[in-house]
Structure 1
Amino acid sequence: MTTTTPSELNEEDLVHFNLGASDPWDDENDDYPEVIFHKVPSADIVYETTPQIPKFVGKYLLGDALGEGSYARVKEALDTETVRRAAVKIMKKKKLKKIPSGEENMKREISLLQKLSKNPHPNIIELYDVHYKVEKEKTYLFMTFCCCSLQDMLDDSEEKKFPLWQAHKYIYQTFQGLHYLHSRHIIHKDIKPANLLLDPSHTVKICDFGVAEELDPFSQADTIKGSQGAPMFIAPEIAVGKDVFSGQKLDVWSAGVSLYNFVTGNYPFNADNVFKLYRKIGEGKYIIPDYLPESLKNLLEGMLQYEFENRLSSHDCLNHPWITRKQNRSYDEVQIPNNIAEESTLIQYLDQLHLEEGDISLPGHPTAPPTSSLQTSSDDILSSDQRLVGDMLEVSDSRSSRSGSFVNSMKGCKQQ
């Protein structure tokens, strides 16, 4: 608002409206003071953005957010020692407390991923490092960098499904990861397209082990009790309320629903609400479209057997004729829905870190802290990890020297 009187300005340069009027463009109401704004040509407006300060958690440089859920945010990250691209899953303690078994699920996921990451499988997400920030009550899980989920790709495609050759590729890799988990006596319990990620090389990575269960390695049975999977992917034994059932066959059913979704764009069971959905799944009646090949129909029927005793195992699926036979590739490939595989969000932060000495005084670019303070902050975070999370997390000791050329060149950075 200006103190210049209207008589001193050209009328065409002013915009008038009465403050508090029901219509801001209605000037018939004189009970409210008139507010006057100057018109400014758009060509004269200069937009300036203050560069964001690069943030570090230990040796990791954080990039922009890749996605966000109800209790976690995923950002791009860079290991400054190995120059390895990563993804960091950031979870706040106060948000986890609002979710039933939220903290327990987080601890279970960390424990299982640490065991699996000792001998990484190409189709299982790998956990690189774990950090805990005491002041902000945040847990940081640094994992394999992935571009998107298969659910993202399905949602972004016109027909909401994959061509058969692409569905074959993704489900084959899913079976490989699933069979490996089962051989390690681990039941995932939440297989679905949203939990099947793609890395930049289009390799499937099974993720999200928050509700997974590790069985007794010396037991001959794989029986489990209950499941917290998504309703659309639950098996009939859960829908009808059975007390115990096969964990491996539960995962195969969910993978079967996922495959059905890959090749048809629909689900074998669908309803307006969860109660109707459970009733339909409990009845076990579904239709496989006629346009699918007979061998694929046979695989789906084997994976979606109503009685889990008759259902295929993950090993059976890997050796099924439709899986073992090479599929002819077509040109109707569903693409990754963004350019994150080639375009990193870290570039802008790396540019700031490697500014020349003469550019440090640019507006909005703070002076770099000494390297010694960075070393101390990193060690503080790591000691917090080990003190608070303890033996269960088995946080690796990454307090190696930060005196490399990369760290010496860091300017204007701060610890997250």
Structure 2
Amino acid sequence: MSVQLLQNPVPGRHGHKRFDADEPVTSCPRLSESSADAGLLSSSPGSPVSGAPLSVTSTHQGPARIGQYLLVPLTDRPGVHSALDMDRGEELLCKVFDMGQYQEKIRAYSMLSSHKNIIQIKDIVLGESKAYVFQEKDFGDMHTFVKSSKRLPEDLASKLFHQVVSAVYHCHQVGIILGDLKLRKFVFSDEKRAQLKLEGLEDCHILRGEDDSMFETHGCPAYVSPEILNGGVCYSGKHANTWSLGVMLYTMLVGRYPFHDPDPATLFSKIRRGTYCLPDGLSLRARCLLRSLLRKDPGERLTTAEVLIHPWFNGNTQDTGKAEQEVNLGEQTVPQIEMEQDEDFFS
């Protein structure tokens, strides 16, 4: 099998490889038998690739080999495989795309400089019909972590949320709007679950200029903003992202969504009204930040730049001072919504 080095698809990479033919990814056992996100979760959510050694039983074929990598499909993450780099002994994640789509799926990475809160592409292997994009492995996602924790104390929530906003701000600075922004999109890059990273940019929208007007109505129902529900009306992508950030922060601090109902029509009605309850026990600064994000009028919401210097973060993040230096303060109709069905409601 020959290998051809191609032009770098993203900054910081040494090239990617093309193979003469795809080696199909066979049905193989997962690296870990524990489910990281099924129903009610355990109190210690882990990653499907959290260090368990590659193993197969006599009733399964071995992992598929793609170049120097062994791949094992993850049953709870369609299109994603755990991968072992046999040359370096490194564990990675692999996302598989059709050849006709992969360049568009990863285009946003070429626009972004490296950021500690955004997962980087490590390698790309091209087959005849599939592209195999390799990224850093993770240690579980924020949705699972928050659900298992019930809710997070403010000091921990502020450290983690600051990292989330930093990643979104970095994207906004270069004209990237994140689609389907939610807790599940952020994963832990360390076993201690202290470092968060945005796990992918496949659903992003790349702006052509300064105008961030959008019409798309794709997303998770619990996180969709009121203006998106108007149907047929353009909205600000950045302001919609900050609403989603408000939903994320509320869920981290309270342990449930600010707007929730098993019936989508009732859920959307609650979101349109924009009324929610702030439980006792939240600090005044946390309440201030939540109210500044979850506002019906998009123009009244804080920008990501303004969120990063909010007083709630004072003393709770290691990089607040640096962020202040970097930030320039100058600076669906319901039936049409394409809904994600995997985002179960917090109880």
TM over 0.5, yes or no? Answer: yes
Relative to 1, partners in 2 of residues 1:233 and 1:50: Cα closer, same or farther, differing over 3 Å? closer
Residue 76 (structure 2) pairs with residue 68 (structure 1): yes
Quote the residue 1:111 is aligned against: 107
User: C-alpha offsets along residues 242-294 of structure 1, whole Å, 9 cap, x if unaligned?
Assistant: 61121111111111101110111111111121111111111111111121111
Quote the residue 2:175 is aligned against: 185
Q: Do the aligned partners of 1:77 and 1:88 also contact (CA within 8 Å) in 2?
A: no
Q: Do the aligned partners of 1:195 and 1:207 also contact (CA within 8 Å) in 2?
A: yes
Report how many residues are paired.
260
Q: Secondary structure at the match of 2:262?
A: coil
Distance of 1:257 and 1:228 partners within structure 2: 16
Correspondent of 2:197 among 199, 205, 217: 205
Distance of 2:124 and 2:188 partners within structure 1: 22
Deviation at 1:133, TM superposition (A): 2.9
Deviation at 1:227, TM superposition (A): 3.3
User: For residues 105-184 of structure 1, what are the structure 2 equivalents within 5 Å?
Assistant: 107-116=103-112, 119-134=113-128, 137-157=129-149, 160-184=150-174
Quote the residue 1:90 is aligned against: 96
Q: Do the aligned partners of 2:292 and 2:302 also contact (CA within 8 Å) in 1?
A: yes
Quote the residue 1:280 is aligned against: 270
Q: Secondary structure at the match of 2:106?
A: helix
Quote the residue 1:250 is aligned against: 240
Distance of 1:172 and 1:129 partners within structure 2: 28
Distance of 1:304 and 1:111 partners within structure 2: 31
Distance of 1:174 and 1:227 partners within structure 2: 22
Identical counterparts, % of pairs: 26
Paired residue type of 1:208: G
Structure 2 gaps, min length 5? 1-56, 318-347
Distance of 1:315 and 1:324 partners within structure 2: 15
Q: Do the aligned partners of 2:111 and 2:174 also contact (CA within 8 Å) in 1?
A: no
Relative to 1, partners in 2 of residues 1:291 and 1:242: Cα closer, same or farther, differing over 3 Å? farther
Quote the residue 1:56 is aligned against: 65
Q: Do the aligned partners of 1:149 and 1:196 also contact (CA within 8 Å) in 2?
A: yes
Distance of 1:252 and 1:120 partners within structure 2: 22
Relative to 1, partners in 2 of residues 1:287 and 1:60: Cα closer, same or farther, differing over 3 Å? same
Distance of 1:259 and 1:240 partners within structure 2: 24
Paired residue type of 2:81: V
Relative to 1, partners in 2 of residues 1:178 and 1:248: Cα closer, same or farther, differing over 3 Å? same
Deviation at 1:66, TM superposition (A): 4.8
Q: Secondary structure at the match of 2:218?
A: coil
Q: Do the aligned partners of 2:278 and 2:287 also contact (CA within 8 Å) in 1?
A: yes
Distance of 2:85 and 2:109 partners within structure 1: 20
Residue 227 (structure 2) pairs with residue 237 (structure 1): yes
User: For residues 276-315 of structure 1, what are the structure 2 equivalents within 5 Å?
Assistant: 276-315=266-305
The structure whose residues are more often helix, as a share, is: 1
Relative to 1, partners in 2 of residues 1:287 and 1:52: Cα closer, same or farther, differing over 3 Å? same
Quote the residue 1:336 is aligned against: none
Deviation at 1:49, TM superposition (A): 4.0
Deviation at 1:131, TM superposition (A): 2.2
Q: Secondary structure at the match of 2:117?
A: coil
Deviation at 1:151, TM superposition (A): 1.2
Distance of 2:270 and 2:204 partners within structure 1: 25
Correspondent of 2:309 among 315, 319, 322: 319
